[in-house]
């Protein structure tokens, strides 16, 4: 039985509020007590909700949408939730909360004017590649697209397209507080792709840099 088919109501047989199985939904619903199996009717009221404007950003593009939550629900920078846009249903992370007087780190749904977010289920990661053959001094930049829950670890080898790099450093984004460091630079330290501000790697395919 799904969670949405169970409701907490007063049971006339038990004499206390218990979880009931919803047999027939509606304003005057039929329910069955999960403690004593007593079936009875009860009046159910829809919970009050607040419609909040949401902006979802991904790779320089933005989509407006809304979400329905309880009026006292709090949105805070770094929180994640599922948002449905015209593009897709996406996991998003709060990056800013706009209220009437400006922007805050957090606010309730009643106070929020717009919740600004970025998509984190699939993300673009900026990569700086250091040459490794001694013939070139300039770094170059790439952008790779990976699932947000992919982990990058310092010291690990990563392959994408024709590139192969050893990860030597990872800058962590400002909108996450789940790490004890701002930059990973010790072998074994890892960061999820959705938390990466920039990845630094050393080229492992020297022929790709050859000028001959």
The CATH number linked to 141 is 3.10.20
Considering the domain architecture, whether residues 56 and 37 belong to the same structural domain is answered as: no
pTM for this prediction = 0.70
The answer to whether residues 145 and 188 touch, using CB atoms and an 8 Å cutoff, is no
Q: Tell me the mean pLDDT per 10 residues along the chain, length 212.
A: 67 89 84 91 83 93 93 93 88 95 93 96 93 69 94 95 91 89 94 96 64 32
Considering the domain architecture, whether residues 38 and 80 belong to the same structural domain is answered as: no
Considering the domain architecture, whether residues 25 and 61 belong to the same structural domain is answered as: no
Residue where one domain finishes, among candidates 120, 147, 175: 120
Domain that holds residue 155: 123-209
Number of structural domains, the chain?
Answer: 3
Estimate the share of the chain in helix, then strand, then coil, as percent rounded to the nearest 5. Answer: 5, 60, 40
Rounded Cα distance, 177 and 47, in Å:
32
Residue where one domain finishes, among candidates 67, 93, 120: 120
Residue where one domain finishes, among candidates 65, 99, 120: 120
Considering the domain architecture, whether residues 8 and 64 belong to the same structural domain is answered as: no
């Amino acid at each position: 039985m799904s969670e949405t088919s169970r409701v907490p109501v007063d049971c006339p047989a038990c004499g206390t509020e218990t979880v009931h199985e919803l047999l027939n939904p509606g304003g005057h619903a039929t329910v069955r007590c999960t403690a004593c199996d007593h079936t009875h009717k009860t009046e159910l009221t829809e919970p009050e909700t607040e419609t909040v404007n949401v902006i979802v950003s991904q790779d320089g593009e933005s989509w407006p949408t809304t979400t329905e939550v309880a009026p006292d629900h709090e949105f805070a920078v770094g929180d994640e939730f599922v948002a449905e846009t015209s593009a897709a249903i996406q996991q998003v992370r709060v990056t800013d909360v706009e209220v009437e007087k400006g922007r805050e780190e957090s606010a309730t749904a009643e106070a929020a004017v717009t919740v600004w977010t970025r998509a984190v289920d699939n993300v673009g990661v900026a990569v700086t590649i250091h040459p490794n053959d001694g013939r070139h001094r300039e770094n170059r930049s790439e952008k790779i697209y990976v699932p947000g829950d992919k982990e990058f670890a310092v010291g690990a080898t990563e392959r994408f397209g024709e590139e192969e790099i050893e990860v030597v450093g990872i800058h962590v984004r400002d909108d996450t507080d789940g790490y004890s460091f701002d930059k990973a630079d010790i072998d074994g330290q890892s960061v999820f792709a959705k938390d990466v501000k920039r990845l630094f790697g050393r080229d492992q395919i020297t022929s790709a840099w050859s000028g001959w």
